[in-house]
Structure 1
């Protein structure tokens, strides 16, 4: 194999006929270089296909990059998995002079989440946040961005804000996928379908609900989708609302949980001996949902990979801080569908 020769900043300087210091100033967009010299250096870099050594530049910095992940408190097993993956990502990136810390906050409380974000500005270069679609949260994100902090939204988006990127699945498509699966599992039966969400202030939950109702109305008009019930992703609250749903709806044929708290739905179904009779579509493959997918209480799981999301958020923040482009295909979070026959 012929070894690949790496183009260095010295090569660019020779090609452009300038000093290494001048090339460094141009490539790092610092002032004090004449426009014709800038053009000559940029042309030399393009001709040689020069790629800067980002790790070397990072190691030469006076301090590390500091990123903060703002994640939810509570019993949401997926978010606990995401927390673990963030910590694993932090451990891997330490050698690259990147420091990642985690703050836990009640993301269902817009004012509390906004206050936490407002406290981060002076301490961090980048922030990844599970966002609530709330005016105070959008303003807090905008305040961080105006202060030069790069912000990405994670799992749930705040698209009206100045965040640089959203790291998560297409939640409308996820809801449509769940509807198609549930409708086909129910088959020719007629009846009602229950919807359970964590909070309609979470954009991912709203988008999943929208996609689900869109497909149900178009493809399965014999099934009536009931008004959504909120359980704040807490399994005890979810069990309470599910038990009420089952008691009030003898012709219930399906349940779609757009958020977390699946333990509560399983408990309510088993307590009423209606598991198997009521088709149950859930999100996120966890040890608990995996077990009940195999047992048949859960019929299918729409999944997103927390490890991919944690790593992607860190990569996007780093790219934003270093003003380098991301690789869109690498950062696209895909939707996985698991049945008991294909779980990994």
Structure 2
């Protein structure tokens, strides 16, 4: 016959220990948490039951028992950026998971291209919040706002775009210079044997991720592919109409244009400009796998997409903030966001 006291099914609980020791759950709780008010003989009995059952305290359960909860705010871009819409959806899904751990997420949308609007959103974060995750501009006022939140004891995680000179807790996103270098290597190989100019379109160079991508791109294209000229980046504010206008200007100004690297969003604008021009020979490399970019990749309009997983990023930001609240360590390998490269042959 199996001894149920020494062989519990699954992980032993406080109730199992209390039953084995012949005491109340409250007494076991006092013993395992080293609180006073328990006789030595009772302590010995409880500790013997703990050892016999292999009981290990569950920190999360202890927090739940103390009715401890946390609230975070995610500050995300407003507008019609498809990737940011996916990110917002993933944050909402992450909120469902967090709720089971008594942690809650509010989402606030602002124009992250406007440093004053973003700074105001950060400066007015309620003291009721235990952490902030934000898409960030590398701007003096944004740095100051993040540092002020740190002074107030509210940790900040930068998401997708970093402000490394600030006192942010952690950056969740890909290695953007490496992403730009990867784009340049792909562009050079797709264009091998051809000469000409390559246009670079960014949302805003005030976004560090966009600035770092175009830097990495120029670095590799100029050093490893001398027949290709990487043009200075032009800004489209991640808006399809502005990006279309920027692409049309590139096509008109540079008849030797052979490639386009879109650092940010606005892919529908580039597609419209290329279709209107009839330039099906342009090699186009883009970022982020969305419904629209997937279709363009499948139809051979985009050659390759460099992407990052918005679900991983949303969960990672939440985990990092939760770990800070709990005093737990951050696991770098778990929170590292990888660079994905998609061709139409390996689409998920």
Identify whether the pair has TM-score above 0.5, normalized to the shorter chain: yes
Q: Give 1:315's aligned residue.
A: 319
Distance apart, 1:218 and its partner CA: 1.4
Distance apart, 1:297 and its partner CA: 0.6
Matching of residue 108 in structure 1 with residue 113 in structure 2: yes
Tell me, what secondary structure is at the counterpart of 2:294?
A: helix
Q: What is the alpha-carbon distance in structure 1 between the residues aligned to residue 124 and residue 55 of structure 2?
A: 39
Distance apart, 1:2 and its partner CA: 9.7
Matching of residue 239 in structure 1 with residue 244 in structure 2: yes
Cα 1:108–1:292 change in 2 (3 A) is: same
Cα 1:52–1:108 change in 2 (3 A) is: farther
Instruction: Confirm or deny: 8 A CA contact 1:121 1:144 kept in the other structure.
Output: no
Q: TM-score normalized by structure 1?
A: 0.86
Distance apart, 1:112 and its partner CA: 1.1
Moved over 4 A (4+): 1-8, 19-26, 49-52
Runs of 5+ unmatched residues, structure 1 = 12-18, 27-48
Q: Give 1:297's aligned residue.
A: 301
Matching of residue 278 in structure 1 with residue 282 in structure 2: yes
Aligned counterpart for 1:216 among listed residues 181, 201, 221:
221
Where in structure 2 are the equivalents of 1:59-138 lying within 5 Å?
Answer: 59-138=64-143
Where in structure 2 are the equivalents of 1:1-344 lying within 5 Å?
Answer: 24=33, 52-275=57-280, 277-344=281-348
Instruction: Confirm or deny: 8 A CA contact 1:71 1:102 kept in the other structure.
Output: yes
Instruction: Confirm or deny: 8 A CA contact 2:150 2:156 kept in the other structure.
Output: yes
Tell me, what secondary structure is at the counterpart of 1:333?
A: coil
User: Over residues 196-222 of structure 1, what are the superposed CA-to-partner deviations in whole Å (9 max), with x where a residue is unaligned?
Assistant: 001110000011011111110111011
Instruction: Confirm or deny: 8 A CA contact 2:172 2:317 kept in the other structure.
Output: yes
Runs of 5+ unmatched residues, structure 2 = 1-6, 18-27, 36-53
The count of aligned residue pairs is 318
User: Over residues 220-251 of structure 1, what are the superposed CA-to-partner deviations in whole Å (9 max), with x where a residue is unaligned?
Assistant: 01111111100110111100111111111111
Instruction: Confirm or deny: 8 A CA contact 2:133 2:317 kept in the other structure.
Output: yes
User: Over residues 285-338 of structure 1, what are the superposed CA-to-partner deviations in whole Å (9 max), with x where a residue is unaligned?
Assistant: 001000010101100000000011001110111001111012211111000000
Distance apart, 1:6 and its partner CA: 5.5
Distance apart, 1:74 and its partner CA: 1.2
Instruction: Confirm or deny: 8 A CA contact 1:131 1:158 kept in the other structure.
Output: yes
Cα 1:52–1:238 change in 2 (3 A) is: farther
Distance apart, 1:50 and its partner CA: 9.2
